[in-house]
Structure 1
Amino acid sequence: MREQTDTGMKQSAPVAPGARVTLHFSLSLTDGTVIDSNYESSPATFTVGDGNLLPGFEAALMGAVAEQTIDVVLPAAQAFGDVNPANVQTFPRQRFAGLLANTTDPVEPGTVVSFTDSGGNEIPGVLKQIGELNVVIDFNHPLAGRDIVFKASVISVLAADVQAVRLQG
């Protein structure tokens, strides 16, 4: 399902690679549960292709112009990805002894645990199971495997070859 509504006659560059886009958006599950939204706050501005928006969401915006509304259900593979069983890993429980012994802030299934990879990057994982000998951590994105409803109200689009100038008086 993809719905586009043009609510005005204002001319605008279409969303294309390198364009600077300002919009309000919401992400929801197909049952209506809102995951994220900026409709009640300031709009977001990003450059298409800068990595701030996942490719599936950018693809849904391609060709849209200012004052246009997008309402699309993105399949999991185009949103946060499919669940990858290889991203669910088992570790020896003793590796988490200090964390599991914390009684002030108890760790239980569903707790997000941060790891650092060899490059120094932080990788979050969700604790799925605590066994007597092992701990199971899921490194899939929490929304992996879920279809996402993406709604966006495009406020402005500045073509890649146009420079924005701010005048101050």
Structure 2
Amino acid sequence: MSIQSPLPIVQEHSDLSISFELSFPDGTLIEKSDADEPFRFQIGDGTFVPNLESLLIGLELGTSAKFTLSPDRAFGQHDPQNLHTMARSDFPEDMPLEEGHVIGFNTPTGDEIPARVHQLDGEEVVMDFNHPLAGQTVIFRVKIEAIHDSLQ
């Protein structure tokens, strides 16, 4: 015997609004939605982090949840193969290159991916293409504020 919830449930392609907060275990805030304006997106449209989206599927309207996510469940482990050495001459002369500086690179498909200047060594620049939160445990707090496509 299955019990049907009277509340709408987040589905694989739901259009929804959430309030969320992403932080480190020590409480340091990484990002959060505006208090008066929930974040609206459609599951699977690439707007929100896929690993975090998958945690929302099956939650009912109004549900608040807290997830502690290891690097493998959040933004992945730091991969040394995502460090790439480039010649300083590959960058515009007037571009300031400093460790920690984030630069956007265009892919052949026209997308832009960010990379952080990891190290400067003479005429070489080591770029880190890992997600900035790779290797980090994070806390994801979320509330399902609205499910806009629910005709359940």
TM-score for the superposition, normalised by structure 1:
0.76
- Which of the numbers 35, 48, 51 marks the counterpart of 1:53? 48
Residue pair 1:21, 1:157 contacting (<8 A) in 2 also: yes
For 1:36, the equivalent position in structure 2 comes to 31
Distance of 2:125 and 2:22 partners within structure 1: 31
Distance of 2:87 and 2:49 partners within structure 1: 34
Distance of 2:49 and 2:104 partners within structure 1: 22
Is 1:13 the counterpart of 2:5? The answer is: no
Alpha-carbon distance, 1:55 to partner? 2.5
Q: Percent identity between the aligned chains?
A: 32
Distance of 2:56 and 2:92 partners within structure 1: 47
Is 1:117 the counterpart of 2:68? The answer is: no
Distance of 1:43 and 1:23 partners within structure 2: 5
Distance 1:159 1:122, change over 3 A: closer
Which deviates more, 133-142 or 119-128?
Answer: 119-128
Distance of 2:34 and 2:142 partners within structure 1: 9
Is 1:91 the counterpart of 2:86? The answer is: yes
For 2:125, the equivalent position in structure 1 comes to 135
Give the gaps of 5 or more residues in structure 2.
Answer: none
Distance of 1:15 and 1:142 partners within structure 2: 28
Residue pair 1:29, 1:149 contacting (<8 A) in 2 also: yes
SS in 2 for 1:98: coil
Residue pair 1:13, 1:159 contacting (<8 A) in 2 also: no
Give the gaps of 5 or more residues in structure 1.
Answer: 1-9, 164-169
TM-score for the superposition, normalised by structure 2:
0.84
- Which of the numbers 64, 75, 78 marks the counterpart of 1:80? 75
Count of residues in Structure 1 that have an aligned counterpart in Structure 2: 148
